[in-house]
Structure 1
Amino acid sequence: MARKKGRDISGWLIVDKPAGMTSTAVVNKVRWALGAKKAGHAGTLDPEATGVLAVALGEATKTVPFVTDALKAYRFTVRLGQSTNTDDAEGEVTGTSEARPSDDEIKAALGGFVGQIMQVPPQFSAVKIDGERAYKRARDGETMEIEARPLWVEELLLTDRPDADHVELEMTCGKGGYVRSVARDLGEALGCLGHVVTLRRIWSGPFEAEDGITLEEIERLAKSPELDEKLLPLEVGLAELPELKCTPEGAARLRNGNPGMVIPGDVDYGDEAWASLDGHAVAVGVFKAGELHPNRVFVQG
């Protein structure tokens, strides 16, 4: 089997994704620019969406689930009075309405989208239906019954009303949320229809869009030490988990996949945590009786 070419480089590069690119294309550009062997991202953005796309490299890919599971925030604009088959401005208009709710009516309706809600993903989404992506079947003209799934919405606020046809909203939610579904369902709840026209992820877990690097800058700094310096350590991806320090002996055992002694901290029996030695992540695992039982081990030079 041919070995993957590239550098064994680890860390996070936070990209301020431009509109018009898929998340996979951005990851591929980052991998090329850094000459990295391995890369992935923590949460897909629609091609026309902008904002935080956290790209993990090397050993940092093992921390992706912890960033994906963290809260994230979106700023988006909803066009009232029209529904589309994609629930955004890229699709075909499927319905229109002359109704235009007041600001107070909109604010009142937003309450129904906060807390633990059930959400049906868009027809054009990456959800798998009988083993095939929904968007592929939707492109063939098929309309599918997509099962609703739970979503935690921490906050949903009306931030601006530029005109009668548009509202600007900010939403903080857990993983698996579709902003396009919120726009669609809000329009239906208000009796006026609606779809997303702009979407920006402003933060995701520990990462902020304002700290992100642009694609233009990535291309300008490609293959240079300056781009390496933009990398954040993989430990940043563990910000949502408690840290426990370990001894060199404990670290050696953990690196071999065995339970290792850690210094007790603010962690209860059975809690998930990560162990560090001299500030560097050694493993993620479950704390039991003074030891961390690893389920992810980091290989750092």
Structure 2
Amino acid sequence: MSRRKAGAKIDGWVILDKPVGLGSTPAVARVRRLFGAAKAGHGGTLDPLASGVLPIALGEATKTVPFVMDGRKAYRFTLRFGEARSTEDAEGEVTAVSDVRPDDAAIRAALPAFTGDIEQMPPAFSALKIDGKRAYDLARAGQAVDLKARPVRIDRLELVARPDPDHADFVVECGKGTYIRSLGRDLAQALGTVGHLSALRRTAAGPFGEAAAISLSKLEALGHIPALLGALAPVATALDDIPALALTEAQADRLRQGQPVLLTRDAPPSGALVRAESGSRLVALVRSDGAALRPVRVFNL
């Protein structure tokens, strides 16, 4: 029996402009195969019916995924008034209808209630787990989905266009764990009607924006590793918000071996998370105790 090929050591981020109709997991698999990478992950799921920024981590970049997951997200979405759907997007079955169509003034008046720190009920068709099972699997099987409301943060929610009475276009900036489908559902209900998302596009995820994103077709057209490597963002891009500290190569070697580095001066304050670098190379994420740096994540770059 032949052994599976381990894959190449490819380290960095691919900022994929995910197309509508492709799930996040298949998108990661296709990018991983293109690069022949040994390891891959992504910085936040996008529904198949959503498009836009899907940061894909290859190799050592997978160690920085939590920092992208925890980062700010930005979206554009279209809310379709008058129809509620089981999935809260265009994929589901119609579950309720309404003749009410709010005007622009009513919509704008409702938006402040959905900004700041709010409680949000996740959609039944979501990847959240209930007793070890995905909520969407239970929902598709017709079983009751018992989810709890949870706190999320929305920093910006703005009406930007009104193509017709049935549709309204919005931009939103939000924190980790926010479901835009739930936001659309709840906003429609607050306006005395029902609704679902007819379009959704993520425009930013952590430090990655759509201006830097590349389509799958363009990636596939590059075709070979030297050209593909030009589409990689450095591993450290995901850590741009974390202060950097320059170390000597001897200090870097201690961190690579999992050992602390004592600092006689200019030590970061106790508890601070710092990006340790030697030259231009990312070495580790370290936490300061006020006198020494202790490795939290070590990178093999």
Q: Which TM bucket (shorter chain)?
A: over 0.9
C-alpha contact (below 8 Å) 1:244/1:263 kept by paired residues: no
Which letter does structure 1 place at the counterpart of 2:105?
Answer: D
Percent of residue pairs bearing the same amino acid type? 48
Q: Which moved more, 1:241-250 or 1:64-73?
A: 241-250
1:22-51 deviations in Å (ceiling 9; x for gaps): 101111111110010001100000001000
> Are 1:282 and 2:276 counterparts?
no
Count of equivalent residues: 300
Instruction: Provide the residue aligned with 2:180 in structure 1.
Output: 179
Pick closer, same or farther for the CA change 1:140–1:216 going to 2, 3 Å: same
Query: Which SS does the other structure have where 1:60 is aligned?
Result: helix
**Secondary structure in structure 2 of the residue aligned to 1:45:** coil
Residue of structure 1 in register with 2:254 after alignment: 253
Write the distance in 2 (CA, Å) between the matches of 1:238 and 1:78: 34
CA distance in 2, matches of 1:246, 1:90: 52
2:156/2:173 contact within 8 Å kept? yes
Preserved contact between residue 247 and residue 262 of structure 1 (Cα < 8 Å): no
What does residue 269 of structure 2 align with?
268
Query: How has the CA–CA distance of structure 1 residues 290 and 29 changed in structure 2, closer, same or farther, with 3 Å as cutoff?
Result: same
Distance apart, 1:271 and its partner CA: 1.4
In structure 1, what is the Cα distance between the partners aligned to 2:223 and 2:8? 14
Q: For each residue in 1:68-90, what CA deviation from the matched residue of structure 2 results, as whole angstroms up to 9, or x when unmatched?
A: 11101000000011110000010
Residue 272 of structure 1: how far off its partner (Å): 1.4
The equivalent of 2:196 in structure 1 is 195
1:211 equivalenced with 2:183 (yes/no): no
Deviation, structure 1 residue 122? 0.6
After TM superposition, the structure 1 stretch with the greater mean CA deviation from structure 2, 157-166 or 240-249, is 240-249
The normalised TM-score by structure 1 is: 0.96
Q: Is 1:17 aligned with 2:15?
A: no
Write out aligned runs for 1:37-186 (5 A): 37-186=38-187
Change (3 A) 1:183 1:224: same
- Matched position secondary structure for 1:227: helix
Deviations 1:53-101 (A, max 9, x none): 0011100110111111110100000001111000001000101111111
Distance 2:115 2:191 in 1: 16
Q: Conserved in 1, the CA contact under 8 Å of 2:269 and 2:290? A: no
CA contact (8 A) 2:80 2:197 kept: yes
Segments of 5+ residues of structure 1 without an aligned counterpart are: none
Change (3 A) 1:40 1:265: farther
Query: Aligned equivalents of 2:65 and 2:280: distance in 1?
Result: 19
- Give yes or no for contact 1:70–1:175 (8 Å, CA) kept in 2: yes
What is the rounded CA distance, in whole Å, between the counterparts of 1:148 and 1:17 in structure 2? 29
Instruction: Give unpaired runs (5+ residues) of structure 2.
Output: none
Retained in 2: the 8 A contact 1:262–1:275? Answer: no
Q: Please say if 1:242 is aligned against 2:243.
A: yes
Shift of 1:265: 6.3
Structure 2 contact 79–198 (Cα < 8 Å) conserved: yes
Q: Equivalent residue for 2:231?
A: 230
Deviations 1:116-155 (A, max 9, x none): 1111111111010111000001011123221111111111
Instruction: Call closer, same or farther: CA 1:247–1:151 in 2, change over 3 Å.
Output: same
Cα offsets for 1:146-178 (capped at 9, x unmatched): 111111111111111111111101110111111
- Aligned partners of 2:67, 2:128: CA distance in 1, in Å? 21
Q: Which amino acid aligns with 1:259?
A: P
One-letter amino acid matched to 1:34: F
Q: Deviations over 1:206-243 (max 9, x none)?
A: 11112111111121123331111111110101112111
- Residue pair 1:244, 1:265 contacting (<8 A) in 2 also: no
The root-mean-square deviation of aligned C-alpha atoms, in Å, is 1.7
* Change over 3 Å in CA distance of 1:282–1:224 after alignment to 2: closer
Please give the alpha-carbon distance, in whole angstroms, between the structure 2 residues aligned to 1:234 and 1:114: 32
CA contact (8 A) 2:39 2:58 kept: yes
Show the counterpart of 2:37.
36
Cα offset, 1:267, TM superposition: 4.4
1:290 shift after superposition = 3.8
CA distance in 1, matches of 2:260, 2:240: 22
Could you tell me how far apart the structure 2 residues matched to 1:221 and 1:262 are? 46
